[in-house]
Amino acid sequence: MEEKKILKETSDLYALVLAGGFSRRMQKDKSLIVYHGIPHAEYICELISPFCSDVFISCREEQKNNFNKKINLIFDSYKEIGPIGGILSALEKFPNTSFFVVACDMPYLNEGIIQELISKRNKEKLGTIIWNEKIKKHEPLCAIYENKIYPKLKEQVENKNYSLQKVINKNDFNVIKIKKNETLENI
């Protein structure tokens, strides 16, 4: 517990839980599914809050009544372009802050993964990202995005390219490997 307290006190990092998707395949809002006794987006907020200076849920404005009133919300300024829009919206609202970004649909995420990612953070890079050996790709929805990534993300969106994988593959990220990739599985 002491290590988490130190991380929170010394961190210049906000958490951003991405919950703005339409959940079309699931046909119900994934962020509201209960896994640990509360809606999962709120659970992730609780899980990550000891590690970050502040926590936000990124969502569409029409979702604002879906979440506990005590949780800070950032409304997506970019409509229907996926996670990159939520991240851009957060960076525009807090341009001097970096974000630990987590998707709302990772039921196996745990403190160990959060702590490992933060402890291996490299502020000199554009972000710190996990290499998921199981799927042979980076995991862009459980990653730290430094505020200096903003121009790269903005350029991608202006070019109508909404892939975070492409941004990561073309730029200088700190890539870490973890042993338990199942903790990063999305539902």
| pLDDT over 80 (residue 37) | no
Per-residue pLDDT tens digits for 110-132:
999 999 999 999 999 999 999 98
Q: How confident is the model over 85-114, as pLDDT tens digits?
A: 999 999 999 999 999 999 988 878 899 999
pLDDT of residue 46: 93
Sheet of strand 127-132: strand arrangement: 72-75, 54-59, 13-18, 98-103, 137-145, 127-132, 174-177
Confidence of residue 9 (pLDDT cuts 50, 70, 90): very low
Is residue 140 within 8 Å of 129, Cβ to Cβ? yes
User: Which tokens hold the place of 13?
Assistant: 């990092």
Report the pLDDT value the prediction gives residue 141, as an integer from 0 to 100: 94
Report pLDDT for 87.
Answer: 97
Q: What is the pLDDT of residue 41?
A: 85
Intra-chain end-to-end CA distance of the chain, in Å = 29
pLDDT at 11: 58
Q: Are strands 54-59 and 174-177 parallel, antiparallel or unpaired?
A: unpaired
